[in-house]
C-alpha cells in the first residue's frame, strides 16, 4: 500500500488498496462514525487543481447511476463503495447480449444526461469508469476530468504537462485537437463504449485514428445506428443532446426483438394554416394554431419536425407538395385552413404523403373558440396515430403529449389570443411591430398573470426595445430580467427565458460567467428554438471568442430550420471571426435570398467588407442597412466612417446630421463611436464608447468585439474599456 504517511484521513480507517491510476490511489476504508464501508480516493499532489474540480463536480450530482460523494478532505474524496466489476472487465471476454447492452447503455445515458443537465461534461467516459454491481446497476465513476461548461479557461483541455485530457481511445476528435469539450464529446465517447459492448472490440484501434470503425456484424441494426451516429467526426452530425440518445435507445428497447425497422425516420413539416376569415388581422390566430401543433409534435420522440421559420417560409405558396417536402427534407406535410367568425372557428387539416401527394388523413373541426386547446391536442394525436409513430417513450402510453412545452400551461382563450397576436407581431422583426407585440403581451398577462410564455415574450420585447430605440439599456435591464424570472417561477425549464437571461448577463451586465451558465441551461433544459440557439451562439460564446463552440451550437438550428435567417447569420458572424470570410459571405447572401427586408444580413456583409478593405461594397451594404433601420446609430456612424475613408467628408457629415439633431446623448455616442474608430481618432472614440458603457447599451459590447476594431482594442484606452467589460482577453 503506497499511502503517504502524512495523509490525514480523519475518521476513516484504511482497509485495503483497491486500485491505482494517474490521479491517485483508491482504497477501501471504514467510516468509524457511521460504521459503513466507503471508498477513498487520495489525489496525487500535482493534481490538486483537478482534485478541487472533481470534488465540485461530484458534489453537484445526485443520481442513482452516478457514484455518490460523501465527504471531502484536504487531498482526498470519500465516496460510495461500489461493489462489482468494471464494464472493461465485462467486455474483456467478448461482446455482450443485446438485451444487456441496452440495459447498461440506458443507465449510462441517464447518468450523462443528469450531468449535462447540471452543465457538466465528463470528458473521460470509458468502460473502466463504469461499474456494474452484482444487481446489474450501473455506476458511472471518476468525474475527475469533469468540466463545468461555464468555465472558460483555454488551458483547461490540457494536463499540467501539456497532454490532452481524457483517454485517447474514447476521445472525440475535437478533444484530440485540444479544443473545448461539450456534451457531444461525451456522446462520442458513449458511442465508442456502446460499440465496444456490441462488438467486444474497441471502435478505434490507435489513439489518433478517427477512421470509420469496422461495420458491426450480427448485432441489432438499430443499436448499430445509434452507435454510428454518436461517433460522427463532426459534432453537428451527432445526436445534439444525451436526452436524444436515451430516447433512441428506448425506441430500440420497444421495437420488435430490439431491432427497429430499417426505414427513414418519420418527419413532418407544419405549414402555416391559411386564414379564410376574410379579415387579415385574424392571420395571427391561424399562424398561432399551426405553430402550437408544430410545438406539440416536437415532443414526440423519433419524429423529426421542421422548425417554424423554415416551414412558414412557404406561406401562401402554391407549389407542389413534393417540392416543399424535398426542400424541407420531410416525408409528410400538414396543411390546413382556419375560418374564424365571432366565437366560432372552423379548422380543416390534412396530412399529405410527400412521395405521392396522397392524403393520409384529413378532418374538419367546427367548435367554439373555447375548445381551441382541445383541437390542437386532437389534431396532434391524430397525426401521431396516422403516422403510426411507435417510437414514443413508454411513459407516454403511445400518445403525443398534447400541450407543447413552450406553452407552459393552459390559459383562458382571451389571454391566449392576445399572446398569439403578440407573437405574430414580434416575429415581423421590426421596431413598430415590436411595440405592438409588447402591448398585446401585456394584455395577455393582465388576463392571466400566471401564463409563463407571455412573460418570456415580454422579456424579449424589452430586450428588443433596448437595442432598437437607442435609449439607455439600464431602463430595460430590470424590466426584462423581472419578466424572465417570473417566467421561470412558472416554468423553471423554459429555454427561452434562460436564453434571454444569458444575453442580459453578458451584453448588459458584462457578467460573462453567468451568461455562459444561462446559455448552457438554455441549451440543455428542453427543446430550444432555432432563434434561441442563435442567440446563445452570438452571446456569450462569440464575446468569449469561443467561435468553434458557437458554430457547433448553431449548426443543429440550421439543420432543423434551414430557412431561418438568424442561425445562418450567427454562423456567418462566427465564420468571419475565424477568418473564413468567403463562407461567411455565402451564408449571409443565402439569408438575403430569402429575406431582403431584414437589416441584419446587410450589416453582416458590410462588416465583412469593411474588414477586407472593400470600402465601396461596404458602403452599399450599410446604406441598405440604414435604409431599413434608420434609427440605428452605429449603422449611421459606420456608414459615415466609410464615406470618410473613401474621401467624401461632405457626405460623411450629411450622414451624421441625424445624430447631432436627435438631442439624445446616448444616440449620438453610439453613432460617433464607430465613426471615430474608422477615422482612427482613438481618444474621441473612447469618449463615445464610455458613454455607451455608462448607459449599458448592448451595442457597446457588440461594437467592442467587432473584428475591424482590432486596432482600437490595442490602444491603452481601448484595453481599459475592455477590462471594464470583462473582455480584456479578447485582444
Q: How far apart are CA 37 and CA 70, in angstroms?
A: 11
User: Would you list the DSSP string of 627-678?
Assistant: HHSTT-HHHHHHHHHHHHHTT-HHHHHHHHHHHHHS--HHHHHHHHHHHHHH
Q: Which of 492, 443, 442 is nearest to 462 (CA)?
A: 442
Q: End-to-end distance of the chain based on CA atoms, in angstroms?
A: 50
Instruction: Dihedral sign for Cα 396, 402, 406, 408, please.
Output: negative
- 601 in Cβ contact with 581 (< 8 Å): no
Instruction: Dihedral sign for Cα 421, 422, 428, 432, please.
Output: positive
Q: Which of 200, 198, 191 is nearest to 226 (CA)?
A: 191
> Who's near 513: CB < 8 A, 6+ residues apart?
150, 152
Main-chain dihedrals φ then ψ at residue 585, nearest 5 degrees = -60, -40
User: Would you list the DSSP string of 168-214?
Assistant: GGG--HHHHTTPPP-HHHHHHHHHHHHHHHHHSS-S-SSTT--SPPP
Grid coordinates standing for 689? 464608447
> Who's near 445: CB < 8 A, 6+ residues apart?
415, 451, 454, 455, 458
- 28 in Cβ contact with 102 (< 8 Å): no
- 574 in Cβ contact with 551 (< 8 Å): yes
Q: Which long-range contacts (CB under 8 A, 24 or more apart) does 443-448 make?
A: 443/418, 444/411, 444/415, 444/416, 444/418, 444/419, 445/415, 447/411, 447/412, 447/414, 447/415, 447/418, 448/411, 448/412, 448/415
> Who's near 590: CB < 8 A, 6+ residues apart?
568
Give the strands of the sheet with 138-140, arranged side by side: 85-86, 130-132, 138-140
Strands (E), 178-331: 267-270, 274-275, 304-305
Length, in residues, of the chain: 731
Name the catalytic one among 31, 124, 142, 532.
Answer: 124
Q: Which of 581, 577, 543 is nearest to 699 (CA)?
A: 543
The alpha carbon of residue 545 and the mean position of all alpha carbons in its chain are separated, in whole angstroms, by 17
Grid coordinates standing for 471? 435609449
The alpha carbon of residue 672 and the mean position of all alpha carbons in its chain are separated, in whole angstroms, by 35
Secondary structure in 3-state letters for 78-92: EEECCCCEEHHHHHC
Does an H or E element contain 296, and which?
A: helix 283-297
Q: How far apart are CA 372 and CA 337, in angstroms?
A: 14
Grid coordinates standing for 679? 477615422
161 is catalytic: no
CB burial class (10 A; 0-12, 13-18, 19+) of residue 170?
A: buried
Q: How far apart are CA 19 and CA 24, in angstroms?
A: 9
Grid coordinates standing for 427? 416575429
Query: Which sequence positions are flagged as catalytic?
Result: 124
Amino acid at each position: 500500500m503506497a499511502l503517504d504517511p502524512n495523509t490525514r484521513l480523519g475518521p476513516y480507517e484504511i482497509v485495503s488498496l483497491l486500485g491505482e491510476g494517474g490521479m491517485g490511489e483508491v482504497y477501501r476504508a471504514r467510516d468509524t462514525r457511521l460504521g459503513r464501508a466507503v471508498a477513498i480516493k487520495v489525489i496525487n499532489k500535482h493534481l490538486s487543481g483537478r482534485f478541487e474540480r472533481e470534488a465540485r463536480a461530484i458534489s453537484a450530482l445526485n443520481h442513482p447511476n452516478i457514484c455518490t460523494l460523501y465527504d471531502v478532505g484536504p487531498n482526498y474524496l470519500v465516496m460510495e463503495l461500489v461493489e462489482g466489476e468494471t464494464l472493461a472487465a465485462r467486455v474483456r471476454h467478448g461482446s455482450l447480449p443485446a438485451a444487456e447492452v441496452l440495459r447498461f447503455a440506458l443507465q449510462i445515458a441517464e447518468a450523462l444526461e443528469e450531468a449535462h443537465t447540471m452543465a457538466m461534461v465528463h470528458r473521460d467516459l470509458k468502460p473502466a469508469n463504469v461499474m456494474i454491481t452484482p444487481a446489474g446497476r450501473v455506476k458511472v465513476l471518476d468525474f475527475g476530468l469533469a468540466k463545468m461548461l461555464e468555465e472558460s479557461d483555454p488551458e483547461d483541455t490540457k494536463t499540467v504537462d501539456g497532454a490532452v485530457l481524457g483517454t485517447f481511445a474514447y476521445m472525440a476528435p475535437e478533444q484530440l485537437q485540444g479544443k473545448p469539450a461539450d456534451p457531444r464529446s461525451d456522446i462520442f465517447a458513449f458511442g465508442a463504449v456502446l460499440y465496444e459492448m456490441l462488438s467486444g472490440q474497441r471502435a478505434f484501434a490507435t489513439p489518433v485514428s478517427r477512421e470509420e470503425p469496422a461495420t458491426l456484424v450480427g448485432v441489432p441494426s438499430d443499436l448499430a445506428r445509434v452507435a454510428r451516429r454518436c461517433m460522427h467526426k463532426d459534432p453537428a452530425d451527432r445526436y445534439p443532446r444525451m436526452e436524444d440518445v436515451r430516447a433512441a435507445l428506448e425506441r430500440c428497447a420497444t421495437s420488435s426483438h430490439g431491432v427497429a425497422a430499417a426505414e427513414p425516420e418519420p418527419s413532418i413539416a407544419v405549414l402555416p394554416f391559411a386564414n379564410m376569415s376574410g379579415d387579415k388581422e385574424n392571420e395571427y390566430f391561424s399562424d398561432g394554431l399551426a405553430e402550437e401543433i408544430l410545438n406539440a409534435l416536437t415532443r414526440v420522440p423519433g419524429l423529426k419536425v421542421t422548425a417554424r421559420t423554415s416551414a412558414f417560409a412557404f406561406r401562401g405558396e402554391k407549389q407542389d407538395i413534393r417540392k416543399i417536402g424535398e426542400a424541407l427534407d420531410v416525408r409528410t406535410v400538414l396543411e390546413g385552413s382556419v375560418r374564424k367568425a365571432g366565437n366560432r372557428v372552423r379548422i380543416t387539416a390534412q396530412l399529405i404523403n410527400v412521395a405521392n401527394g396522397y392524403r393520409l388523413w384529413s378532418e374538419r373541426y367546427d367548435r367554439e373558440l373555447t375548445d381551441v386547446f382541445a383541437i390542437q391536442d386532437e389534431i396532434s394525436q391524430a397525426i401521431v396515430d396516422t403516422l403510426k409513430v411507435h417510437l414514443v417513450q413508454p411513459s407516454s402510453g403511445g400518445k403525443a403529449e398534447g400541450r407543447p412545452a413552450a406553452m407552459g400551461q393552459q390559459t383562458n382563450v382571451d389571454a391566449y389570443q392576445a399572446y398569439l397576436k403578440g407573437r405574430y407581431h414580434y416575429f415581423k422583426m421590426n421596431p413598430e411591430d415590436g411595440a405592438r407585440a409588447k402591448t398585446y403581451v401585456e394584455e395577455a398577462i393582465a388576463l392571466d398573470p400566471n401564463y409563463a410564455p407571455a412573460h418570456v415574450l415580454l422579456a424579449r420585447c424589452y430586450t428588443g426595445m433596448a437595442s432598437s430605440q437607442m435609449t439607455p439599456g439600464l431602463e430595460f435591464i430590470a424590466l426584462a430580467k423581472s419578466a424572465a424570472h417570473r417566467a421561470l417561477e412558472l416554468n423553471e425549464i423554459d429555454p427561452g427565458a434562460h436564453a434571454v437571461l444569458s444575453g442580459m448577463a453578458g451584453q448588459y451586465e458584462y457578467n460573462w460567467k453567468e451568461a455562459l451558465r444561462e446559455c448552457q441551461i438554455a441549451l440543455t433544459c428542453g427543446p430550444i428554438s432555432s432563434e434561441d440557439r442563435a442567440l446563445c451562439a452570438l452571446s456569450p460564446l462569440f464575446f468569449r471568442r469561443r467561435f468553434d463552440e458557437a458554430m457547433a451550437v448553431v449548426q443543429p438550428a440550421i439543420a432543423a430550420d434551414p430557412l431561418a435567417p438568424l442561425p445562418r447569420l450567427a454562423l456567418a458572424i462566427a465564420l468571419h471571426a475565424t477568418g473564413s470570410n468567403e463562407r461567411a459571405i455565402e451564408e449571409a447572401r443565402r439569408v438575403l435570398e430569402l429575406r431582403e427586408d431584414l437589416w441584419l444580413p446587410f450589416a453582416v456583409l458590410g462588416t465583412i467588407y469593411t474588414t477586407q478593405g472593400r470600402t465601396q461594397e461596404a458602403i452599399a451594404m450599410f446604406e441598405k442597412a440604414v435604409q431599413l433601420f434608420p434609427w440605428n446609430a452605429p449603422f449611421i456612424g459606420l456608414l459615415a466612417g466609410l464615406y470618410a475613408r473613401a474621401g467624401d467628408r461632405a457626405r460623411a457629415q450629411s450622414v451624421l446630421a441625424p445624430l447631432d439633431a436627435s438631442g439624445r446623448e446616448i444616440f449620438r455616442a453610439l453613432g460617433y463611436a464607430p465613426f471615430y474608430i474608422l477615422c482612427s481618432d482613438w481618444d474621441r472614440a473612447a469618449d463615445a464608447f464610455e458613454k455607451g458603457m455608462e448607459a449599458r447599451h448592448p451595442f457597446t459590447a457588440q461594437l467592442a468585439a467587432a473584428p475591424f476594431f482590432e486596432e482600437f482594442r490595442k490602444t491603452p484606452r481601448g484595453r481599459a474599456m475592455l477590462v471594464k467589460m470583462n473582455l480584456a482577453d479578447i485582444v
